[in-house]
Amino acid sequence: MIFGKRFIIYMLMKFSTKKMEEKNEWKKTTRQKNRVLHNGEIQLANGRYRYKYINHDGSEAYVYSWRLLAKDSTPTGKKEGPSLRELEAKIQSDLNNGCATFGNKITVLELVEDYVEFKKNTVRKTTQAGYQTVINVLKKDPFGSRRIDSITFVDAKKRLAKLQTEDKRSYSSITSIRGVLKPAFQTAYNDDLIRKNPFDFIITEVVVNDTKKRLPLSPEQEKSFLDFVKGDKYYSKYYDGFYILLKTGLRISEFCGLTLDDIDFENHTINIDKQLMKKARKFYLQKTKTESGTRIIPMLPDVEERFRSLIANRPKLRREPSVDGVTGFLCFDSYGSIAYSLHWEKHFKYATDAYNRSNDLQIESLTPHVCRHTYCTRMAMSGMNPKTLQYLMGHSEVDITLNVYTHVGLEDAKKELERMSRR
HEC profile of 116-173: HHHHCCCCCHHHHHHHHHHHHHHHHCHHHHCEHHHCCHHHHHHHHHHHHHCCCCCHHH
CB within 8 A of 392, min separation 6: which ones? 249, 295, 297, 379
Report the C-alpha gap between 398 and 295 in whole angstroms.
Answer: 15
289 is catalytic: yes
Determine the pLDDT at residue 93.
74
Determine the pLDDT at residue 26.
47
Distances from the Cα of 140 to the Cα of 109, 145, 366, 375, angstroms = 10, 9, 35, 42
pTM of the model: 0.66
Taking Cα atoms as reference points, which of 381, 368, 308, 300 lies closest to residue 340?
A: 368
Taking Cα atoms as reference points, which of 168, 164, 165 lies closest to residue 178?
A: 164
* Catalytic pick among 158, 346, 405, 415: 405
Q: Which of 21-35, 60-74, 233-247 has the lowest mean pLDDT?
A: 21-35
Q: What is the pLDDT of residues 54-103, one digit of tens each?
A: 776 667 777 788 898 888 888 888 888 888 888 888 777 766 665 555 55
Report the C-alpha gap between 32 and 393 in whole angstroms.
Answer: 79
375 is catalytic: no
Report the C-alpha gap between 185 and 143 in whole angstroms.
Answer: 14
Q: What is the pLDDT of residues 341-371, one digit of tens each?
A: 999 999 999 999 999 999 999 998 899 999 9
* Catalytic pick among 274, 347, 372, 373: 372
* Catalytic pick among 251, 274, 373, 378: 251
Q: Which fold has domain 219-421?
A: hpI Integrase; Chain A (1.10.443)
* Catalytic pick among 189, 369, 391, 407: 369
Residue extents of the structural domains in the chain: 39-71+80-97, 105-205, 219-421
Determine the pLDDT at residue 238.
97
* Catalytic pick among 289, 295, 350, 391: 289
Q: Which of 208-222, 274-288, 305-319 has the lowest mean pLDDT?
A: 208-222
Amino acid identity, residue 410? Answer: L
Strands 60-65 and 49-54, bridge-based pairing: antiparallel
* Catalytic pick among 274, 306, 343, 395: 395
Place 106 in a pLDDT band, splitting at 50, 70 and 90: confident
More confident residue, 280 or 43: 43
- Supply the mean pLDDT for the chain: 85
Are residues 270 and 258 in contact, defined by beta-carbon separation less than 8 angstroms? yes
Determine the pLDDT at residue 6.
67
Domain 39-71+80-97: what homologous superfamily? Classic Zinc Finger (3.30.160.60)
52 is catalytic: no
350 is catalytic: no
Report the C-alpha gap between 343 and 354 in whole angstroms.
Answer: 17
Determine the pLDDT at residue 57.
63
Determine the pLDDT at residue 245.
97
Amino acid identity, residue 123? Answer: V
- For 287-295, which contacts have Cβ atoms below 8 Å and span 24 or more sequence positions? 288/254, 288/394, 289/251, 289/394, 290/394, 290/395, 290/396, 291/396, 292/390, 292/391, 292/394, 292/395, 292/396, 293/251, 293/254, 293/394, 293/396, 294/394, 295/391, 295/392, 295/394
319 is catalytic: no
Domain 105-205: what homologous superfamily? Tyrosine recombinase, N-terminal domain (1.10.150.130)
- pLDDT of 205 higher than 80: yes
More confident residue, 260 or 385: 260
Report the C-alpha gap between 324 and 327 in whole angstroms.
Answer: 9
268 is catalytic: no
Fold agreement between 39-71+80-97 and 105-205: no
